Amino acid sequence: MLYLVHMIVNIPATLAPEEAARIKADEKAYSQQLQHAGRWPHLWRVVGEYANYSVFDVDSNDELHDTLSKLPLFPFMKITVTPLAKHPSSIV
């Protein structure tokens, strides 16, 4: 199943810079692991924002929730999920 996921990150200014750097490094490693596994095939930065639009390819709503909740930046994110279905006019 494909999902369009919009993530907006808001790390509090009170978080120690070293801790923020560690969390971001963990986030990068986890996200790249998911990308290599084919579960996160598209990741796009939103220009001018600390946000992204991503496409996830997972088997269920529960798997997506589990995947997103394991993101190290999850506690600092606002996430919107849109399930996707094949468009009848699509040639792909």
Read off the pLDDT of residues 39-78 as tens digits, 9 standing for 90 and up.
999 999 999 999 999 999 999 999 999 999 999 999 999 9
Q: Which of the four pLDDT bands, split at 50, 70 and 90, describes residue 92?
A: confident
The answer to whether 80 and 3 are in contact (CB under 8 A) is no
Cβ contacts of 76 within 8 Å, gap of 6 or more: 9, 10, 11, 12
pTM: 0.93
Structural domains of the chain, ranges and CATH numbers in brackets: 2-84 (3.30.70.1060)
Q: Over the stretch 3-47, which tens digit does the pLDDT of each residue have?
A: 999 999 999 999 999 999 999 999 999 999 999 999 999 999 999
Q: Dihedral of CA 51/43/2/86: which sign?
A: positive
